[in-house]
Structure 1
């Protein structure tokens, strides 16, 4: 017979609860068959021994007609002995005890309780503390039918269940011992899908929007949660992809009228000659074209970047960029120094990560007077990239604004010396997509310091 699989969380909890209660109920019901303190049937092997003793006594006193003499003989033999031989007691058919009255302190009260509480036709036995009384067997002595009882010292330990039910603390510990493995199994069964969901949430926090079908396993509640989580990831993927396609399409469509504008301006210049107005139109058209080019570059880098993730050593990402930056700085009469690259890995889109760091280094080379320093180091589970220059820097009031799109500061880093103001915005977007952060501050060299923080691959 196959039992249906319980897929509901509440179903598993109720199943464990009722299973534990059933075990306790079975133990309570079965206890009555184990408890020697209640009247029970005498085991067959012990019954044979008792019958042999009865037959021996009948044979021994077969020729004795005086019952009182037999009773006195029984009382003498029933004195406490070191041996494990049973003590013998006689009673008449009415239940009056004939032997042992002189030894009331020696289990006589237990014997009287057993005799008065006995009702039936078959011999029984019952335990009183450490003394077991059994009987009665019918015996004929001095031509009278009497009842024979046996008393034996009980040296066996009480059954385990009796110890438990006699001591509530032990019973509680036993129930805990039985239920703990079941509860541990339940905790494990609940923790597995919860951990899968936690790992999936961590991947999303790092910018990895990947559908994980393993989330849709486990109990019904976790299956529904995993399915909803995957639907959310798919919706975010579609939203990001749509946004990136829209940016790319807009940038591409803007180039056509811009190209026609520059052609018309060139024809007007050829026809009318040079003028300040036409030169201004051409200058603004060039800047607009540069801006659209940067937007197209951003859209190409970000296209499906949330889906294209790799785990790579950081040396393979930025070592060549640092060497190229060092060469370019030397050509401009400047010096670029960088620290050793740690042997660690990061997870992300290689193109975005390489472009982000390259943009910061090129800005430092361009705006620095003659010195650029790059420090790459790790702390706990974070990677830090610090780029400093000794240029004119950025006013403290504008340090947080330089990462906004199209923003240009009012000092040397302005419209005449820089681009369209999208470079740092592209870098900030790339770092943020990798669950990192980027901040700007005044450099110890006197210029600008840009600090990038990224999570290490775990």
Structure 2
């Protein structure tokens, strides 16, 4: 039987990525900074070239043959020579006690070089910033040991990164910047799929049941990829569950129409036979109410399932023409005014019937509760179209009701009296239609009174 590996034994891939990334980043920076002085030293230091060695040998042989040159008044004449490609060379004569005989003050670079040569225990040359130092050459004169060092102005090209070794503050700044870039790249690599997951989750929470994580995130081999796969599986289950729920409501509503039709037919036959009473009138009224409720339930199911409908690129005024005419007539019947401000040039892809039904429900609701008038306007921007419906009615008494009014069968406390009519499905249908367009709908109270409904629809 194949052994099953315990989840605890499976290495956390995100942990490994983080560990390796930070470890690699730190190692690269530490190695680069640590190797710079060694690279510079190996580049600038080398064995004593033969032509410079010959120069020191000739100079040492001259002193050995003429020890009187080491007398105090002759030493300064031995310092400068134009013996190497026309460049002035300075020769330093050092006794066995390490004292420079022919120069009162020697540079700090020369002192450093003498220590380097002593550590190397052999003749070397070293390129400083603007000068080349070489030596020593040991010789004997008048029974005493002496050493010769040379220096002349010289400059050779050095790799650009040696500049960093000489500028510690700049090197530190670059190291911090480089580490920030590497860590930023890692953060982007990990953060991008997480942002994708968040956007998909937000879209799903806002009612877009088709929202899924992109394939690039799913193909990742780490825990984020596994999370993306789990999210898509969850989204599929949620979409199927809600669609099945809406189909069930739609099927039940259809089935309820059959006995309801029989009931209405029986009432019609009873009235035709002259059977009139208060009870029969009440039954007829309730049957009509039930018929309207079933019709709205079917409409809500159709909008949410988005069946038999495809987007069309039409003018907004063209789609809403009949709805606006009916709303204007209804407002006049109630001695109210409807103000319309929709540019005929505004066009966008949309589902004509669901959008018309949504605007119709919102306008009828606004006209019902307004005091003197309602206005509707459309504002077009580069990426979206906003439709604003504003009335001067009492508004919504409690702020927590502003979001809840779009839920099915929900009505604010002030509107729950039977006389207000409706079952809280009109605004739910409007929200479902807007979400089918991947848009948004919000409600807010106006000052001092009134309600403002804003619908935002994308233009893509």
Residue number in structure 2 paired with 1:42 = 47
Measured after TM superposition, the shift of residue 201 of structure 1 is: 4.2
Separation (CA, whole Å) in 1 of partners of 2:123 and 2:240:
85
Residue number in structure 1 paired with 2:239 = 237
Separation (CA, whole Å) in 2 of partners of 1:112 and 1:277:
118
Separation (CA, whole Å) in 2 of partners of 1:118 and 1:12:
47
1:89 paired with 2:88, answer no
Residue number in structure 2 paired with 1:18 = 24
Residue number in structure 2 paired with 1:179 = 179
Cα deviations by residue, 1:203-245 (Å, 9 ceiling, x for unpaired): 3355322224334255724323433332333233123212211
Structure 2 unaligned blocks of 5 or more = 1-11
Aligned partner (choices 433, 438, 442) of residue 437 of structure 1: 442
Structure 1 segment 437-456 matched on structure 2, within 5 A: 437-438=442-443, 451-456=452-457
1:398–1:80 Cα change, 3 Å? closer
Length-normalised TM-score, structure 2: 0.69
Which structure has the greater CA radius of gyration? 1
Could you say what secondary structure the match of 2:458 adopts? coil
Could you say what secondary structure the match of 1:353 adopts? helix
Cα deviations by residue, 1:374-424 (Å, 9 ceiling, x for unpaired): 3315499883422548xxx7798699698773869999x965xx8654553
Measured after TM superposition, the shift of residue 355 of structure 1 is: 0.8
Separation (CA, whole Å) in 2 of partners of 1:368 and 1:121:
103
Residue number in structure 2 paired with 1:255 = 257
Residue number in structure 1 paired with 2:342 = 340
Structure 1 unaligned blocks of 5 or more = 1-5
Q: Which moves more between the two structures, 345-354 or 179-188? A: 345-354
Structure 1 segment 43-122 matched on structure 2, within 5 A: 43-44=48-49, 47-55=50-58, 58=61, 60=62, 64=65, 67-69=67-69, 75-79=75-79, 84-89=88-93, 91=95, 95-96=96-97, 100-101=100-101, 103-106=103-106, 114=114, 118=118, 122=122
Cα deviations by residue, 1:333-392 (Å, 9 ceiling, x for unpaired): 9864412348667787554332121123345668889x7543315499883422548xxx
Aligned partner (choices 28, 39, 43) of residue 34 of structure 2: 28
Decide whether the 8 Å contact of 1:251 with 1:295 is kept in 2.
yes
Aligned partner (choices 294, 298, 307) of residue 296 of structure 2: 294
Decide whether the 8 Å contact of 1:374 with 1:388 is kept in 2.
yes
Separation (CA, whole Å) in 2 of partners of 1:428 and 1:221:
39
Separation (CA, whole Å) in 1 of partners of 2:134 and 2:15:
53
Decide whether the 8 Å contact of 1:85 with 1:152 is kept in 2.
yes
What RMSD in Å do the two structures reach over aligned CA positions?
A: 5.2
Residue number in structure 2 paired with 1:3 = none
Length-normalised TM-score, structure 1: 0.70
Decide whether the 8 Å contact of 1:138 with 1:146 is kept in 2.
yes
Residues paired across the two proteins, number = 430
Residue number in structure 2 paired with 1:375 = 376
